[in-house]
Amino acid sequence: MRITALAGGVGGARFLRGLLAHLAASPDPARREAQVTVVSNTADDVTFHGLRISPDLDSVMYTLGGGIDEVRGWGRAQESSGVADELAAYGAEPSWFTLGDKDIATHLVRTRMLAEGATLSEVTAHLCARWAPGVRLLPMTDDVVETHVDLADGPDGAERRVHFQEWWVRLHAAVPAVRIEAVGAEQASPAPGVLDALREADVVVLPPSNPVVSIGTVLQVPGIRRAIVETAAPVVGVSPVIAGAPVRGMADACLAAIGVPTTAAAVAGLYADFLDGWLIAAGDEAPTRPGLVVRRRPLLMSSPTATAELAGAALDLALELAGRERAA
């Protein structure tokens, strides 16, 4: 079985870890031997201190490879700040973006390889050779795409544009975004293997990642959305919203910026052209689009067991839909 998942950062990475745990423990040989490909958002990539940083790729790689800081949910466990403290002593900016020493080594390898002409796909494969995340981890594109955000917090509401990370990390998305743009997305090409992984998948899964700045930017890379629309595989997603609030992070601020309500039904609407199955929380209103199969399941990834069960439920729904397809 070939499973292809789109993913953002922390939430996506945790869901994927649950998926791998579910597959490994399954009595079904087809699930135990399933091959998982992850198409990662790269639009929150950023260059700080000359280092090229790919937060979402690294969150998936560290989480699945056993190096993640479990408490923060991002970055490396048992981190130190030898470099960062010194950068601060030099007055180097930005000082609000935390870079641990272990993490910096990853960025040094990436930055050097990119400077030497390697693609981000090649860099990611090299880094993953160490981490062995148990999935094939692909960036959505090898081209540079960066999400920028327009804020209207200047005098008299004057707008200014900042990198997504500045809005997200420095401002905690507390300043309303007027506009969110994945700069470079329209000119980008899917990275090698991405379209095939979607076309040839038996199941396509959307973890509960941010529908705007994670899944949303992946879908903006020309060809990816069409490949998902056209794939024969069932496409099943997990709502990132419970009872009108994001499960994790500040997806509500992103949804507000694009004028979409923070509800499980509204997020499903963003995927209306390809979504076959949708998992929502018990108390939430189901979207009513004909042909969309909705199931209510506990969505909180509160423990490894709960997360594995959630991933299993998504897979169950997908295989049920595939069976219907075959029976029809």
Does residue 123 touch a copy of itself according to CB under 8 A? no
DSSP annotation string for 64-108: HHT-B-TTTSSSBTT---HHHHHHHHTT-S--SS---HHHHHHHH
Phi, psi of 220 (to 5 degrees): -80, -15
Residue 153, C-beta contacts closer than 8 angstroms, at least 6 positions apart: 160, 175
Q: Is 53 in the site for a copy of itself (CB under 8 A)?
A: no
With CB under 8 A as the contact rule, the residue among 51, 77, 183, 306 that binds a copy of itself is 51
Task: By CB under 8 A, tell whether 122 contacts a copy of itself.
Answer: no
Scanning 97-105, 173-181, 184-192, 195-203 for contacts with a copy of itself by CB under 8 A, the matching segment is 97-105
- Least distance in Å: CB of 12 to a copy of itself? 24
Applying CB under 8 A, does 69 fall inside the site for a copy of itself? no
Q: Of how many residues is the chain composed?
A: 328
Decide: is 65 part of the binding site for a copy of itself (CB under 8 A): no
Among 28, 86, 159, 196, indicate the residue that binds a copy of itself (CB under 8 A).
86
Return the range that interacts with a copy of itself (CB under 8 A); candidates 110-118, 145-153, 170-178, 197-205.
110-118
Q: 82 or 283, CB closer to a copy of itself?
A: 82
Q: What is the largest CA-CA distance in the chain?
A: 67
Q: What tokens appear for 318 in the block?
A: 């997908």
The CA dihedral of 213, 215, 220, 221, to the nearest 10 degrees, is 110
* Site residues (CB under 8 A) for a copy of itself, limited to 1-40: none
* Three-class DSSP labels, 14-28: HHHHHHHHHHHHCCC
Between 49 and 295, whose beta carbon lies closer to a copy of itself? 49
From the list 90, 157, 290, 328, which residue makes contact with a copy of itself (rule: CB under 8 A)?
A: 90
Q: Name the residues that contact a copy of itself, by CB under 8 A.
A: 49-51, 79-80, 82-87, 89-92, 100-102, 104-106, 108-109, 111-112, 115, 126-127, 130
